[in-house]
Amino acid sequence: MMKSYILTALALSASLISFLYEAPEASNTFKATDLPSSSVALNPLLTVADFPSPTPADLAKEVKENDLTYKDSLFYSYYAQSLGLKLEYIEDKELLETVSEWIGTPYRAGGTSRRGADCSGFVTRVYKTVYGITLSRSSRSMFHDVDRVAKSELETGDLVVFRRGPGKPMYHVGIYLNDGKFSHSASNGGVMINSLRSPYYKKNFYAGGRAI
């Protein structure tokens, strides 16, 4: 009987010692199934060493990307407010800046400068500045330089062309911005932003044109 007690005690002691040695190792080891499925490797067990810390270069890159995102957000927020637009934050920045600089330019027949410009003069100057594209000088011939686009398919930078009724010649052109808004040089106010949904422009809209 005494021998049985001694053997039992030795077995318990061995189990305790084994547990004490294995517990610290288990605390630093976790199963692959504890990770998202995309992180599971071929090894059934992963340790902290399998996940190295990001390098200073990685951290600097992340900070730079976040900073650019923040600056982009400020840029688009500013022009959305100053131009009265609902932007998607993917519009051409140079186009927004250039149009903003032209706002308020007086209308002048045949003009192509910030001192005064007609509709086609304004459009040709903006296209040359922003896209490096040379368009024909008149709104009618300009439309033949681009691919026709349906109103529902308009994108930022497309041309919008108007005429006074079916069969009548095209007489006015502007540049589509976003959310149904376009910039143009109107004879009754110079360079401004209007909506394609307004009764006058909705009635006289002819087509869109894409050159870019």
Annotated catalytic sites, by residue? Answer: 119, 172, 184
> What letter represents residue 49's amino acid?
A
